[in-house]
A and B are shown apart, each in its own frame.
Chain A
Amino acid sequence: GDSVTQMEGPVTLSEEAFLTINCTYTATGYPSLFWYVQYPGEGLQLLLKATKADDKGSNKGFEATYRKETTSFHLEKGSVQVSDSAVYFCALSQGNLIFGKGTKLSVKP
């Protein structure tokens, strides 16, 4: 069945460092891909999305490109802030929404 694999955390970075969180997927069709973010004690918020191959989703300085050839959707940010500390979930959708296990990011001042 469809699945999402993302790098395990936690990931700890200093402020202004470059962030990459790897995500790969397995799907029989052509899913939409998403990154969600969960701040402590809160629900999940949609961070960005891409609906077809080579699409780039972007929001709040975060980017991810839908790579069909490598079945990947890696999340990147050029300069992280303390306020980016959260858990990040990669997900795919083909009717329902399937999540990876999440990656906890901690950004230190």
Chain B
Amino acid sequence: DAGVIQSPRHEVTEMGQEVTLRCKPISGHNSLFWYRQTMMRGLELLIYFNNNVPIDDSGMPEDRFSAKMPNASFSTLKIQPSEPRDSAVYFCASSLQGRDGYTFGSGTRLTVV
């Protein structure tokens, strides 16, 4: 298995632009998580899905952020409009049985200028 695949690896965009981050979970996994990592705040859970259904989005910072999972093999995290304070590394992770561990993607480093 290729693992959790995220794209792009790096994204540089101007303030106000729309940004879409993509994630392909491991085939057969039924849970998907989006995290954000910054030096100041560490790892923050933004949202997670179970069987393609959003379960907890309380970590989504504001309405500018939205996430979808149209099918079991694809998820997106969108920021519209983007702001400099959104600059961070965004990780996607998937799991089959949460108690057994989660597999992380390599992350997308987002820079908003």
Contacts and interface: CB of A to CB of B under 8 A. Distances in A.
A98 B45 contact: yes
Chain A contact surface mostly:
strand
Interface residues of B, number: 20
Contacts, number: 48
A89 B104 contact: no
Interface of A: 32, 34, 36, 42-46, 49, 51, 89, 93-99, 101-102
A43 B106 contact: yes
A49 B99 CA distance: 9
Contacts of A36: 104
B14 interface: no
Interface in B94-113: 95, 98-107
B42 A102 contact: yes
Contacts of B33: 96-97
A96 B101 contact: no
B79 to A, nearest CB: 20
B100 A44 contact: no
